[in-house]
Amino acid sequence: MHLVLGGALLMPFHFAALTVLAATGLLRGTPAEALTSQFVALVLALPFVATAGLVPLVRTLEGSAARVLCAPEGEVLSVPATSAAARRRASAWFTLHALVGGVVAGTSLAAPPGGVVLLVLPLAPAVADVFPWAEPAHALPIAWVPVGLALLVLPLFVSAAAGAWLARLAPTLLGPTPADRLALAEQRAERLAERARIARDLHDSVGHALSAVGIQAAAAGRLLERDPAFAARALAAIEDTAREAVAELDHVLGLLREESDPSAAPVPSLTNLADLIARTRAAGADVDLELDLEPELGRDLEPTGGLEGLPRLVSREAYRIIQEGFGNVLRHAGEVPVRLRIAVARGELGIDLSNPLGSARATRHGGGRGLRGAAERIAVLRGTFTAAPHDGHWHLTARIPLEGHS
């Protein structure tokens, strides 16, 4: 079927060449001249076939057909050919496919009838009464019978050989070029980077929210009778935290299903830091915030208000890092004082978060992704990140350059 398709693709080019030969008077009527004209028309058609093969979408057509019908022995692409090398290879394959398909189609049309004739003519005297055209004068020696049998099965062997050859050749001409491999590697890297970013956001947002909700619920349960006001604040914080977590989770699930616009994502930043601190305090951690901002960023504004002048990307990633730090405090240290210092000086954003180690909490196995994700965030921004215990405290520090980020 693949070879028949090649013959069908060759047909319009071949017919056009025959039309030119007929118009110029080169197409004669004798069988020998007609056969010669067929081969001449084939030669004339091939340059036009090769030119048509340079169209980028030809590789899409030929790649799909080869993968389904040709059973290639390697990787075959079915995407448009974008580079010059890919278009040349696709043109070479298109030309070969049409040429080989045309030859096989011609063999399949001509050889079986010829074989039947060679089988019948040796029997002309015996069948003359049934077939008047089989006159004894047209009889052939019986030795032609094997030739007739060979012509009957010739198309099968030609098709098998041509198909196997094209199957071996397909990955070379329709497979990825170095430019294609580079583009595929870039696309794969982009997909992996996007998946890693989604995983980090899920961990930092939903993971932090679940940790905060669990701790706030436990605190509200313990103090419900002794301090109803605190329990009410904790329940209100649980409501807010859960609502934000559901919104972010819904957007991430939409991205995974390709139903959401990435630009429409809820993007928290350091301008939302006051809400994050309030929820963390409601969970029992006493957060002490210290800002040291350059005058042009608005040092004299309300707390966290001066952070609006930071680059959006830096502000978003810094928020996620602080969110991860607060989440670790709630998960591993509990209700302990937390000191957070944010400083902007000499074109750099500095984050210092520390807390007492506190009593050991039961933690699940397989953790540690949050700090690894925070380090990845900082690495993308060409900054530095450390997180380690020292002198009975857990210290998390990050330095992010502001230059070159939007």
> Is the model's pLDDT at 265 over the cut of 60?
no
Instruction: Report residue 171 as tokens.
Output: 């990955």
243 or 93, which is more confident: 93
Lowest average pLDDT, out of 59-73, 161-175, 252-266, 337-351, goes to 252-266
DSSP H or E stretch at residue 48:
helix 31-52
Count CA atoms within 13 Å of residue 305 on its CB side.
Answer: 7
186 conformational bin, left if phi > 0, alpha if psi -120 to 50, beta if neither: alpha
Lowest average pLDDT, out of 83-97, 231-245, 379-393, goes to 231-245
What pLDDT, in 10s, does the model give residues 165-206?
999 999 999 988 888 888 888 888 888 877 777 777 777 667
Q: What is the pLDDT of residue 31?
A: 58
When pLDDT is cut at 50, 70 and 90, the band that residue 129 belongs to is: low
> Is the model's pLDDT at 137 over the cut of 60?
no
Strands 384-390 and 337-345, sheet pairing: unpaired
Angstrom distances, CA of residue 382 to CA of 5, 197, 403: 55, 16, 10
pLDDT above 90 covers what percent of the chain?
23
Q: What is the pLDDT of residue 28?
A: 61
Domains along the sequence of the chain with CATH: 2-176 (no CATH), 191-401 (3.30.565.10)
Contact 369, 203 (CB under 8 A): yes
When pLDDT is cut at 50, 70 and 90, the band that residue 62 belongs to is: very high
Count CA atoms within 13 Å of residue 249 on its CB side.
Answer: 12
Q: What is the pLDDT of residue 132?
A: 57
175 or 364, which is more confident: 175
DSSP-assigned letters across all residues of 169-226: HHHHHHS--HHHHHHHHHHHHHHHHHHHHHHHHIIIIIIHHHHHHHHHHHHHHHHTTT
Contact 41, 21 (CB under 8 A): yes
The partner residues of 354 in beta bridges, in order of sequence, read 339, 395
Q: What is the pLDDT of residue 253?
A: 74
pTM (2 d.p.): 0.52
Strands 384-390 and 393-401, sheet pairing: antiparallel
Q: What is the pLDDT of residue 304?
A: 47
Residue corresponding to tokens 């398709």: 5
30 or 56, which is more confident: 56
Q: What is the pLDDT of residue 126?
A: 56
Contact 402, 349 (CB under 8 A): yes
> Is the model's pLDDT at 303 over the cut of 50?
no
Q: What is the pLDDT of residue 9?
A: 92
Nearest to 109 by CA among 159, 72, 144, 147: 159
Which residues have CB under 8 Å from 366's CB, separation 6+?
Answer: none
Q: What is the pLDDT of residue 288?
A: 92
For the segment 308-317, the average pLDDT, to the nearest whole number, is 86
Contact 315, 307 (CB under 8 A): yes
Q: What is the pLDDT of residue 161?
A: 92
For the segment 93-114, the average pLDDT, to the nearest whole number, is 90
Q: What is the pLDDT of residue 366?
A: 45
Q: What is the pLDDT of residue 210?
A: 75
> What's the CA gap between 394 and 333, in Å, rounded?
9
Q: What is the pLDDT of residue 140?
A: 66
> Is the model's pLDDT at 128 over the cut of 60?
no
> Is the model's pLDDT at 100 over the cut of 60?
yes
Q: Helices 2-23 and 145-174, interaxial angle, to 10°? A: 100
AA identity, residue 202: L
Mapped to the 3 state alphabet, what secondary structure does 58-121 carry?
Answer: HHHHHHHHHHHHHCCCCCCCCCCCCCHHHHHHHHHHHHHHHHHHHHHHHHHHHHHHHHHHHHHH
When pLDDT is cut at 50, 70 and 90, the band that residue 33 belongs to is: low
Q: What is the pLDDT of residue 301?
A: 36
Instruction: Report residue 137 as tokens.
Output: 């004068």
Strands 286-292 and 337-345, sheet pairing: parallel
What pLDDT, in 10s, does the model give residues 217-255?
877 777 777 888 877 877 887 887 788 778 777 777 776
When pLDDT is cut at 50, 70 and 90, the band that residue 94 belongs to is: very high
> Is the model's pLDDT at 102 over the cut of 80?
yes
286 or 251, which is more confident: 286
**Start-to-end C-alpha separation, the chain:** 56
